[in-house]
């Protein structure tokens, strides 16, 4: 490269030095007084840093020197990103605010109020997808198959006599499998009632109770690339290595307790060995969910498949784990894309190209 061209490239990089901000939620450090599952659930909050490092490295490779900001003060971030150094694009890795995953959509909404483009799903999609009850209602209204469900908000327990056991209880407004554990599947009314009441008290929100679909668990990652959205190679969580008689479920322990029995017993394969007809049904349904919930840039739809081969949508994850060891990146690589390619696609989607 000639010295003149090299100088021009250097000047362009200088001009773009702080044009991209990489914003993530600072994990609160006040867990010393907590114990048991409350303290344990800080693991998933801190894991955002595993996404931060490769994202920053990819941006550097693409010719940018991003401003990295750990979000802990709304006043500070609002002043900084609306000032003279206002970013042209935010790579949004914020999964909540001060330990509250329910505030994830508020962070994105702030970017929208300040008219700053950002990667990932919109505040509206983040809000709807996190509300499992609202998502269920939308799925049902659109005719998309999902396990039969009801809601418990405290007080009188709903009538589940017509439900097919086993049942599972989940907090209705959490993500990252919070509140979903290996002991959370029940074959009797007394068990599900006690579990639902415990979850209401602990998370202070309504609890979703649904039929537990015995069978396979398959996930469909989606990637928007310009005007096209594609379903990446499907992934499957295998349960064959779990102890005999234990629920075939990948709960919080399986996802966040590396090396544990539940982690070792739930390996993920990608591409999944799925027969063509089922594969096409899952891909079609995943695209329908992405469109129904106004998906943008990327996301993941989680399915259970019953023994008859019928897929049921569990939820849409608008902010899946994009760490290098996570399932989304595994699906990217199965289709021939590296993490840097993924970040560059996000930039282009938001009208911001690499050097």
The CATH number that applies at residue 333 is 3.30.470.20
Q: Which pLDDT score, from 0 to 100, does residue 28 have?
A: 66
Does the residue 151 lie in any domain? yes
In a shared domain, residues 255 and 312: yes
In a shared domain, residues 295 and 339: yes
Q: Which pLDDT score, from 0 to 100, does residue 57 have?
A: 97
**pLDDT (mean) for 305-318:** 97
Does the residue 135 lie in any domain? no
In a shared domain, residues 243 and 283: yes
Domain boundary among the residues 58, 86, 120 is at 120
Q: Which pLDDT score, from 0 to 100, does residue 353 have?
A: 64
pLDDT over threshold 90, residue 48: no
Domain boundary among the residues 157, 191, 211 is at 211
Cα 199 to Cα 72, 95, 146, 308, distances in angstroms: 27, 21, 22, 32
Does the residue 134 lie in any domain? no
Provide the domain count of the chain.
Answer: 3
pLDDT 10s digits, 342-351: 999 999 999 8
Q: Which pLDDT score, from 0 to 100, does residue 262 have?
A: 74
Q: Which pLDDT score, from 0 to 100, does residue 192 have?
A: 95
Does the residue 139 lie in any domain? no
The residue ranking higher by pLDDT, 2 or 83, is 83
Shortest CA distance to 110 belongs to which of 75, 144, 84? 75
Q: How far apart are CA 169 and CA 154, in angstroms?
A: 13
Q: Which pLDDT score, from 0 to 100, does residue 10 have?
A: 46
Q: Which pLDDT score, from 0 to 100, does residue 177 have?
A: 72
Q: How far apart are CA 166 and CA 331, in angstroms?
A: 31
In a shared domain, residues 87 and 201: no
Instruction: Give the structural domain span for 82.
Output: 3-120
300 CB burial (10 A radius; 0-12, 13-18, 19+): buried
In a shared domain, residues 254 and 159: no
In a shared domain, residues 219 and 343: yes
Q: Which pLDDT score, from 0 to 100, does residue 31 have?
A: 43
Percent of the chain with pLDDT over 90: 70
DSSP one-letter code for 200? H
pLDDT 10s digits, 251-302: 777 676 777 777 788 899 999 999 999 999 999 999 999 999 999 999 999 9
In a shared domain, residues 17 and 87: yes
């Amino acid at each position: 490269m000639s010295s003149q061209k090299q100088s021009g490239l250097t000047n362009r990089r200088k001009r773009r030095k702080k044009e991209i901000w990489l914003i993530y939620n600072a994990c609160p450090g006040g867990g010393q007084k907590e114990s048991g599952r409350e303290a344990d659930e800080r693991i998933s909050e801190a894991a955002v840093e595993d996404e931060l490092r490769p994202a920053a490295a990819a941006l550097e490779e693409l010719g940018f020197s991003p401003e990295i900001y750990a979000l802990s003060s709304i006043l500070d971030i609002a002043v900084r990103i609306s000032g003279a150094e206002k970013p042209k694009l935010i790579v949004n890795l914020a999964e909540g605010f001060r330990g509250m995953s329910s505030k994830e959509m508020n962070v994105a909404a702030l970017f929208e109020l300040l008219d700053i483009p950002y990667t990932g799903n919109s505040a509206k999609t983040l809000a709807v997808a996190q509300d499992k009850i609202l998502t269920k209602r939308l799925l049902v209204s659109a005719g998309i198959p999902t396990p039969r469900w009801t809601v418990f908000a405290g007080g009188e327990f709903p009538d589940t006599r017509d439900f097919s056991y086993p049942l599972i209880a989940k907090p209705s407004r959490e993500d990252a499998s919070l509140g979903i554990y290996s002991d959370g599947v029940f074959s009797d009314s007394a068990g599900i009632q006690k579990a639902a009441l415990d979850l209401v008290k602990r998370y202070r929100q309504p609890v979703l109770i649904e039929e537990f679909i015995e069978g396979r668990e398959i996930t469909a990652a989606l990637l928007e690339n310009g005007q096209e959205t594609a379903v990446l190679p499907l992934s499957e969580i295998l349960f064959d290595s779990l102890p005999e008689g234990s629920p075939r479920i990948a709960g919080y322990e399986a996802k966040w307790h590396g090396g544990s029995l539940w982690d070792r017993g739930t390996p993920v394969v990608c591409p999944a060995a799925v027969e063509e007809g089922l594969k096409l049904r899952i891909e079609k349904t995943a695209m329908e969910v992405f469109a129904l919930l106004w998906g943008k840039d990327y996301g993941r739809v989680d399915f259970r498949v019953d023994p008859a081969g019928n897929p049921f949508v569990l939820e849409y994850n608008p902010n899946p784990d994009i760490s290098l060891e996570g399932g989304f990146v595994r699906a990217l690589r199965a289709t021939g894309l590296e993490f840097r390619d993924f970040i560059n696609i996000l930039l282009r989607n938001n009208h911001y190209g690499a050097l």
